[in-house]
Amino acid sequence: MNRTVVITGVGRGLGRALARRFAERDWTVVGCTASSDSLNSVQSELGPPHRLSQLDVADDGQVAAWAARHLADGFVPDLLINNAALINRTAVLWEVPPDEFRRLMEVNVDGTYHVIRHWLPAMIERGSGMVINFSSTWGRSTSPQVAPYCASKFAIEGLTQALAQELPRGMAAVALNPGVINTDMLQICFGSAASMYPDAEEWSQRAIEFLLGLDTGNNGQSVSVP
C-alpha cells in the first residue's frame, strides 16, 4: 500500500536526503522548500508522483493553502516530518540582531506549529499517523553562541511532549535528535570541522530505518538517530 510522508525543508540537507530514501521505498513525498532554486532541483530529481512546493512555513496562510490543496487530493500523511529550520550566525546572545532572532523562531517554532495545525486534523480524523518534530542535541543541551537555536529546539521538545499527551490513541508524536551531520547549518557553526561528521546522504541510510521502526509506543519520547 502506498503511503504518504509530508516533509518540510526538502530542498537540501537532511530533508532532501530523507525524501530520496522515502521515494526509494515507494512512499509519496509531499514536500516544501522556501527556495525556488532548490524546488526546481528537487523536482527534477524526484519527479512524479511526488508533490513538491515552494512556501514559507513561517507564513500560516501559505501552509494552510498547501495542506488544503493536497488533503483535497487525498494525501493524508502517514508521517508528518517537521524538518525545516534555521540556525543563527554564531554570536553571543546580546549581539544577535532582533530580526535574525525573530526569523529563526518564526521558522523553527511557529513553522512547526503551522504545519501541525493544518495537517494533523486530517490524520486525527483518519485515526492514525505519526508526527516527527526535528529537535537537536542543542534541544537537550546548550552551547555558547547558538542560544537562539537552542531556545527554538528546547521549545520543540516541550511542544512535542505536550502534543503527545493530546493525541488520541493510535497516534504518536516524537522529538527527534538527528545527531551531528555535515550540513550547511553545521558548517555555519563548525566551519571546516564539519567535514569530520557524516554527510546527509550517509546519515539518511541509517535514519530511514530508524524512523520506519518508530510506532505508537514511542509517543512522547525524545529519540535520537543511532
Which listed residue (134, 149, 154, 203) is catalytic? 149
Q: What is the reported pLDDT for 183?
A: 66
- How far apart, in whole angstroms, are the C-alpha atoms of residue 80 and residue 12? 18
pLDDT for the residue 87: 96
pLDDT of residue 186: 56
Specify the pLDDT at position 179.
86
206 is in which domain, residue-wise?
4-224
Q: How many structural domains comprise the chain?
A: 1
pLDDT at 84: 98
Per the prediction, the chain carries an average pLDDT of: 94
Mind giving me the DSSP string for 149-188?
HHHHHHHHHHHHHHHHHHSPTTEEEEEEE----BSHHHHH
Q: Are 85 and 135 spatial neighbours (Cβ–Cβ below 8 Å)?
A: no
Backbone φ and ψ of 177, nearest 5°: -90, 110
**In the annotation, is 149 catalytic?**
yes
Note the pLDDT tens digit of each residue in 104-152: 999 999 999 999 999 999 999 999 999 999 999 999 999 999 999 999 9
Give me the CATH number covering residue 143: 3.40.50.720
pLDDT tens figures, 165-205: 999 999 999 999 998 786 666 566 666 766 766 788 999 99
pLDDT at 187: 66
Q: Is the pLDDT of residue 36 over 80?
A: yes
Which whole number is the average pLDDT over 210-222? 98
Query: pLDDT tens for residues 50-88?
Result: 999 999 999 999 999 999 999 999 999 999 999 999 999
pLDDT at res. 38: 95
Separation CA 21–CA 204 (nearest Å): 7
